[in-house]
Chain A
Amino acid sequence: MRKSFYPKMAWSGISHNKKFYIPYFFTCIAMVMMFYIIDALSVSSVLVRIPGGETMQGMLNLGKWIIGLFTLIFLFYTNSFLNKRRSREYGLYNVLGMDKRNLAHIHFWETAITAGISLVAGLIFGIVFSKLAELWMVNILNGQTDFKLRIEGSAIRETILVFLVIFILILLNALRKMTMASPMELLRSEHTGEKPPKGNWLLALVGIVALVIAYGLAVTIEDPVEALTWFFAAVILVIVATYMLFIAGSVTLCRILQKNKGFYYRKQHFISIASMSYRMKRNGAGLASICVLSTMVLVMLSSTICLYAGVENIMRERYPRDLSYEVHVSAPKYLNEESEANWRQLMEETLQESHLTASDVLEYTSAFFYGKLEDYNFRMKDELIDMETNESTAFDVDEVYVAPLSVYNRVTGEKETLDAGEALVAVYGGSYENNTDTLSIHNDIHLNVKKVISNFKAIHMDGAVSTKVYYIFVPNFDEVAEKLAQYNMAQYMTENMENVYFKCYYGCNLDGSDDAQMAAEGVLNNKFAALDASQQEGIDYVRYESYAFNKESFYGTFGGLLVLGILLGIVFVFAAILIMYYKQVTEGYEDQSGFVVMQKVGMTKKDIRQSINSQILIVFFAPLLLAGLHLLFAFPMISKLLLLFGLNRTQFLAMVALGCYLMFAVCYIIVYKMTSGVYYRIVSVNNK
């Protein structure tokens, strides 16, 4: 046979099945494009120069492999569908005298053509759109760039390599299937009459149980850290449940409906229920995939949008003041008027030199320890350690600050007064779980709690957003601090271990640019380093924090998450559209003959249209509705997870999630309209 024979055969095979190949090409092109864009951004020299860009690139690098893996799975799925449609043709070739080797040649050329088209087109689109994506990311990071089109050679190489591997795997799989089938099997594979599935009670039940457990988890978990550990378990449970519900649950439901004769034997229900139960077994997987993909898109979009939009909030929780320092000393005696004034002086000099003015100044001294509240008593770190294994017995210790009452009054503007032995407890990131009036610290300092404030605004530095922080405000701070110091000293002597730290905090907001603020932090750092030995007495160490300095990495992280969320969202939406399209096309061909029969036995065209409508509507919108339900139940969990990032705006998240859902629903309806048109056209061909 001539050399050009196989490519020609392959090409004619493709062009005769345009209806199936064009969407497949589109998908391949889109996948190549997305992969290239993400890859190119992750190595982009423009991004790496922009503050926060590196953080973003790390995230994109991860996303790249997620897309690669997803592409592999997804193209496998669509390709097996294509092969099923094509196998009749191959069977015929086989009967007409081509052996399996010839067929393998055609197969090879088909894959080669597909790979060629999708790589070339995908890379071209990728290069064009990567510029757009780059501009967008630079914008997110508040950076600058030019409008030059860049081509990332390494990204192109990697994209080609990854997709060649994917296409080779797909080809091998198709060849494996082909060599196993006989010509007759190939010829008939499309028309093997499938039996209507029996309702599988067990699977349906497992699906429901899995869903209930997952929803239960999502709703009951209170602790953000716990939410993180259980999140993936819940996700997997939901995915499993979705597949089982669509594959087995829907059939079971149809069977139940069929048992109800009065309901089932009605014109409006009869045909839809029967054909739904018939096709759910096969197409249930497709619907479940659509549902899972939709849910993923919704969860990703709403959480990343929320995070990005809330980045200022998150940062203010974490960095209450623009510029701050914290001096840690070994004993309360080092916290005196004189040294505090010295330190303050350094800050003031710094600001003066940097031409910045301070506002919202907050300065206070405090004693700090890690502790756990048990039976009205704060146990300290050393009390929580198992002496034999030297391991902590408590994993989730909280942070405790003891500070003068005046600090509270200054921050809140209130005028609380307390007697000695009394205290006011404020809690950040949680509530105070102690229902008695008394509170003690390592069973030594006893306090009467006069007032409790939950969800107090953070006033400390270096707040890890997920931990709970107690502020115990006392009127006689010096006394209490001294007691703590004595205890600390005793512990230090016996166990060589410090429990309590004494700090002086100074923080203020600034009026200058980010760059000026960052520079000021450096100046401050130098000034503290230049303190002479006498002035340094008692200082353990000093820490600085600049809001401006950390802004970049926050924008990098959350902007990166947002970009990734949107790009992955696009990929998943693409996948969902393709699944929908193929579903409609296959069902159209399946139903063609059925509708002819129904017309012959006296079904009017109107009946047919109505029955198609109700059926498609139910089948199509079930995934969307279930995705909505998933999102609803995922909501508490997402809001806990966002709490880990320091975002505490449930209402905002609810609005974003709802907005995402509505937008998604509109897109879904558009796609549904488009693809159901395809279905009508196929079904009505023989109906004239």
Chain B
Amino acid sequence: MSILEVKGLKKTYTTRFGGNQVQALKNVSFSVEEGEYVAIMGESGSGKTTLLNILAALDKPTGGTVLLDGKNLADIRESAMAEFRRDNLGFVFQDFNLLDTFSLEDNIYLPLVLAGKNYREMHKRLEPIAKQLGITQLLKKYPYEVSGGQKQRAAVARALITHPKLILADEPTGALDSKSSDELLDLFSAINQDKQTIVMVTHSVKAASHAGRVLFIKDGEVFHQIYKGHHTRQELYQKISDTLTLLTTGGDRA
């Protein structure tokens, strides 16, 4: 059963003073099955971020539909949107987006507090997640006190704690050094093993090579996709870089 279905998605931006129209997404369709780990790749300006924003219900498409777990995002009222996001989606951002005012623990609790959960339940949920992510010792610390990798792990914990249907990751390794990146990607893989669906937007070939499927976007359209299938990570890595070379040198669809 597909948990996410994107059909004929279009997004056109009109520049501030009218006139020029920029088409960020022309026609994007794909679906994500439950438990899948999908990476979306593309160059800057290819429409990746726009796509992610629409999937996150942070932005509205000009045309087309997004079905999450069979529910059309367009049908959700504006006022219920935030709540919907909180209950169904988990976010991991490039720049972590942790609040400086909260300790890591409180940052992780934030969506649950907003959902009105009591402390005991929150705590119960946090324990296994913190253990899995290896941040149990860091929970009382504040964002400014820990490294980027640790921050990102806390952000992942924040995304996981609501038991979301889908985790959306926007360049999660973008601000991390290579060691932290590897650790984070291993974590994502481990989370995915536990049947967590993940959609990740990334530039990094290495990050994408951890996914089960890689979608390539070019000029607002899905240009190509690669399944990991029985390939090893190294093989997938090679195939991704080949595709990217093709993409950048401007070749036609392989």
> What residues of chain A have their CB less than 8 Å away from a CB belonging to chain B?
193-196, 261-262, 265-267, 270-271, 274-275, 277-278, 594, 597-607
A194 to B99, CA, bound (A): 12
The answer to whether B79 and A602 touch across the interface, beta carbons within 8 angstroms, is no
The 6 closest A-B pairs by CB, nearest first: A602-B86, A604-B82, A278-B101, A597-B97, A261-B119, A274-B101
**Contacts known (A193-B144, A278-B101, A597-B97); A267 close to B113, Cβ less than 8 A:** yes
Select one of B79, B109, B142 contacting A265, CB under 8 A.
B109
A602: nearest chain-B partner, CB-CB: B86
**Residue of A whose beta carbon sits closest to that of B81:** A604
**Partner of B79 from A195, A274, A606 at Cβ < 8 Å:** A606
Give the complex CA separation of A598 and B98 in angstroms: 9
Q: How far is the CB of A245 from chain B (nearest CB, A)?
A: 21
Q: 15 pairs across A/B with beta carbons < 8 Å? A: A193-B143, A194-B144, A267-B116, A270-B113, A274-B106, A275-B101, A594-B100, A600-B85, A600-B97, A601-B85, A601-B97, A602-B83, A602-B85, A602-B87, A602-B162
Minimum CB distance partner of A276 in chain B: B101
Question: Is B91 at the interface (CB under 8 A from chain A)?
Answer: yes
- In the complex with contacts A265-B122, A598-B99, A604-B110 CB distance below 8 A: no
Distance in angstroms between the alpha carbons of A193 and B145 in the assembled complex:
10
Contacts of A194 in B (CB 8 A): 100, 144
Distance in angstroms from B143 CB to nearest chain A CB is 8
Taking the complex as formed, is B74 at the interface, i.e. its CB lies under 8 A from any CB of chain A? no
Tell me, in angstroms, the Cα distance from A261 to B58 when the chains sit together.
Answer: 31
Which residues does chain B contribute within 8 Å of A606, judged by CB atoms?
A: 79
- Tell yes or no: B111 within 8 A of A by CB: yes
Task: Tell me the B52-89 residues at the A interface (CB within 8 Å).
Answer: 56, 58, 79, 81-83, 85-87, 89
Contacts of A277 in B (CB 8 A): 101
Are A597 and B83 touching (Cβ within 8 A)?
Answer: no
> B37 → chain A, closest Cβ, in Å?
22
- Do A599 and B82 touch across chains, with their CB atoms under 8 A apart? yes
Given A195-B144, A195-B145, A278-B100, verify A600-B114 contact (CB < 8 Å).
no
In angstroms, Cα B143 to Cα A194, docked, is 10
| Count, A-B residue pairs, CB within 8 A | 81
Is B82 a contact of A605 with CB atoms below 8 Å? yes
Assuming the contacts A598-B99, A602-B83, A604-B79, asked whether A196 and B142 have C-beta atoms less than 8 A apart, the reply is: yes
Interface residue? B206 (CB, 8 A): no
Interface size, chain B (Cβ < 8 Å): 35
Q: In the bound complex, how far is the Cα of B8 from the Cα of A530, in angstroms?
A: 118
Q: What CA separation (Å) do A195 and B99 show in the bound complex?
A: 11
B123-138: CB near A (< 8 Å → 1, else 0) gives: 0000000000000000
Q: What residues on B are CB-neighbors of A261 within 8 Å? A: 119
CB distance from A603 to the nearest CB of B (A): 6
The answer on a CB contact under 8 Å between B119 and A265 is yes
Contacts of A594 in B (CB 8 A): 99-101
* Extra contacts besides A267-B113, A602-B89, A604-B79 (5): CB < 8 Å: A196-B101, A265-B119, A274-B102, A598-B99, A598-B110
In the assembled complex, the CB of A192 is this many whole angstroms from the nearest CB of chain B, namely 10
Assuming the contacts A261-B119, A266-B113, A267-B114, asked whether A600 and B100 have C-beta atoms less than 8 A apart, the reply is: no
Shortest CB distance B156–A (Å) = 13
Tell me, rounded to whole Å, the shortest Cβ–Cβ distance linking A40 to chain B. Answer: 49
Q: Which residue of B lies closest to A606 (CB)?
A: B79
Docked-complex contact A262 and B119, CB < 8 angstroms? yes
A518 to B86, CA, bound (A): 85
- The docked-state distance in angstroms from the alpha carbon of A144 to that of B98 is 69
Asked if residues A600 and B99 are in contact (CB atoms below 8 Å), the reply is: no
Q: Is B118 an interface residue (CB 8 A)?
A: yes
**Is B158 engaged at the interface, CB distance under 8 Å to the other chain?**
yes
Give Cα A262–Cα B117 distance, bound, in whole angstroms.
Answer: 11
Instruction: Out of A265, A270, A601, A603, name the residue touching B158 (CB < 8 Å).
Output: A601
Indicate if the CB atoms of A601 and B86 lie closer than 8 Å. Answer: yes
Interchain CB contact under 8 A, B110 and A601 = yes
- B31 → chain A, closest Cβ, in Å? 24
A684 to chain B, nearest CB (A): 15
* A600 near B119: Cβ-Cβ < 8 Å: no
Closest approach, in angstroms, between the C-beta of B171 and any C-beta of chain A?
A: 14
Instruction: Kindly report which residue of chain B lies nearest to residue A595, judged by CB atoms.
Output: B99
Q: Given that A602-B83, A607-B82 are known contacts, is A597 also in contact with B111, CB under 8 Å in the complex?
A: no
A265, B82: Cβ atoms closer than 8 Å:
no
Cβ–Cβ contact A603 & B106, under 8 A: no
Across the two chains, which residue of chain A brings its CB closest to B85? A602
B contact residues around A601 at 8 Å (CB): 85-86, 91, 97, 110-111, 114, 158
Q: How far is the CA of A597 from the CA of B107 in the complex (A)?
A: 11
Once bound together, how far apart are the Cα atoms of A240 and B144, in whole Å?
31
Contact B113 A600 (CB under 8 A): no
Interface centre among B85, B87, B99, B119, by most A CB within 10 Å?
B99
Per-position binary interface string of chain B over residues 142-181, scored 1 when its CB falls under 8 Å from any chain A CB and 0 otherwise? 1111000000000000100010000000000000000000
Distance, CA A196 to CA B111, complexed state (A): 21
B204 to A: closest C-beta gap in Å: 22
Give chain B residues whose Cβ lies under 8 Å from the Cβ of A607: 82, 114
